Amino acid sequence: MPELFTVSTPHAALQKLFDHLSRPIAIETIPTAAALDRVLIESPIATSALPAFARSTMDGYAVRAADTFGASEALPAYLTVMGECPMGQAPTVEVRAGQAAVIHTGGMLPDGADAVVQIERTQKTTETEIEVMRAVAPGENVLQVGEDVKPGDQLFSTGHVLRPQDLGGLMAMGITHVTVARQPRVGTLATGDEVIDPQFEPQPGQVRDVNTYSISGIVTRAGGVAQSGGIIRDNFDALYQAAKDLIDQSDALVLSAGSSVSVRDMTSDVIERLGKPGVLVHGVSIKPGKPTILAVCDGKPVFGLPGNPVSALVVGDLFITPTLWRLQGCARPPHQNTMKARLTHNLASVPGRVDYIQVKLIDRDGEVWAEPVFGKSNLIYTLVKSDGMMIIPIDANGVAAGEMVEVKLF
């Protein structure tokens, strides 16, 4: 029997999909405080300096540096304390030659002062006089105006995923709202006459829906919002209608179809009718997940997954996750969480195919080992028992026990 479809390499398949994504990035403006892990689309320009005034980085005395030159423990400089710089206000005191003012960390430098002497380097001689036992250079222990940000600075690059400190950085500039990519809505449909809603008790021959929930988790982690269109019978009209309704309200569509040849063909036909150019890739040189369909319908990505649970994770990693970041205009998706480990078993592989192997990480004498969790790709609990997947590259014959491998952590 001939191959039913010609297979693409994962890289070529993703590229083909990307080449046909034509919709502009949907954007929205939201409070910065709620923008963690969102993709920044309009990168603000600094309109003011940060800090806006020279600030002390120490508790001590604001001084003129020149007054401390040559000071040492043996030969201290004597300065008259003129007052204190209050926090949160411009100091009213001015520091002239031979004078100093008490200043706290973060306090604004008074006029005339150009440096701060740490309190630990001084000693009080009277209520209004100190000994300075160490010279400071001009600018020492001072944050200069604009040392953090200068007016006109581009604060972020476009497509940046906002992290905790980025929210702080935006707020420091008074940017309380940001324009970010809208979270892509990803419609998911499970198909199969045997698939039922998990809340029901399966009758003989029936199985509960698994992929709707796994895929929803994958979508969430890639910044999207999953919306389930439910479970559809293996019937062309029913599947087409459900897919059409769902894609109209979504930015992307995932069909988790059965793995049988007839169902695969039906899924492909349904996708062809959803929009142009339709199916781009039907079959990828990966294991598991070979019968994957990648399509673009009127500018929206559509994924046809073989129904087994392991494929969903593999196709998610290879195609769904990068596509969702791309839909958000993300220049550089968050680095995937990986770990090096030593492989416990020899693993054979067929060149020309990328193999995903589920592994458990175990500790042996203080070293991390990756132990393959063998099991058919129809078994969801092989995934539950795994900590991650290792990849055998397309050109490899296999990996020998004891070799270091990279594990993508779940």
Residue 87 tokens read as 């926090």
Assess 30 for contact with a second copy (CB under 8 A).
Answer: no
Q: Which two three-digit tokens encode residue 330?
A: 């993300």
Residue 220 interacting with a second copy (CB under 8 A): yes
Helix, strand, coil share (%) of the chain residues, nearest 5:
20, 35, 45
Q: Confirm if 300 and 368 have CB atoms less than 8 A apart.
A: no
If one asks whether residue 389 binds a second copy (CB under 8 A), the answer comes out as no
For the record, the structure tokens of 84 come out as: 């204190």
Q: Which of 98, 202, 351, 393 binds a second copy (CB under 8 A)?
A: 202
C-beta atoms surrounding 261 within 10 Å: 11
Question: How far is residue 25 from each of residues 82, 218, 327, measured CA to CA in Å?
Answer: 59, 20, 6
Range in contact with a second copy (rule: CB under 8 A) among 11-19, 83-91, 180-188, 293-301: 83-91
DSSP state of 53: S
Count of residues near a second copy by CB under 8 A: 101
Distance spanning both ends of the chain, measured CA to CA: 37
Nearer to a second copy, 21 or 143 (CB): 143
The residue within the footprint of a second copy, chosen from 67, 209, 251, 355 (CB under 8 A), is 209
Min dist. Cβ of residue 253 to a second copy (A): 18
Site for a second copy, residues 277 to 296, rule: CB under 8 A = none
Q: Which member of 218, 232, 246, 354 binds a second copy (CB under 8 A)?
A: 218
Q: Tell me the sheet residues that pair with 284.
A: 8
Q: Does residue 343 belong to the site contacting a second copy (CB under 8 A)?
A: no
We find the least distance from the C-beta atom of residue 88 to a second copy, in angstroms, to be 4
Residues 242-261 that bind a second copy (CB under 8 A): 258-261
Nearer to a second copy, 47 or 241 (CB): 47
Minimum Å gap between C-beta 385 and a second copy is 9
Q: Judged by CB under 8 A, which stretch of 16-24, 246-254, 268-276, 331-339 contacts a second copy?
A: 331-339
Q: How far is the CB of 298 from a second copy (least distance, A)?
A: 28
For residue 207, report the phi and psi dihedrals to the nearest 5 degrees. -135, 155
Q: Rule CB under 8 A: is residue 267 a binding residue for a second copy?
A: no
Cβ-based neighbours of 384, under 8 Å, separated by 6 or more: none
Q: Binding to a second copy by residue 230, rule CB under 8 A? A: no
Please state whether beta strands 338-343 and 404-409 pair in parallel, antiparallel, or not at all (unpaired): antiparallel
The tokens describing 160, both together, are 């940046």
Helix (H, G, I), strand (E, B) or coil at 273: helix
Site for a second copy in 4-23 (CB under 8 A): none
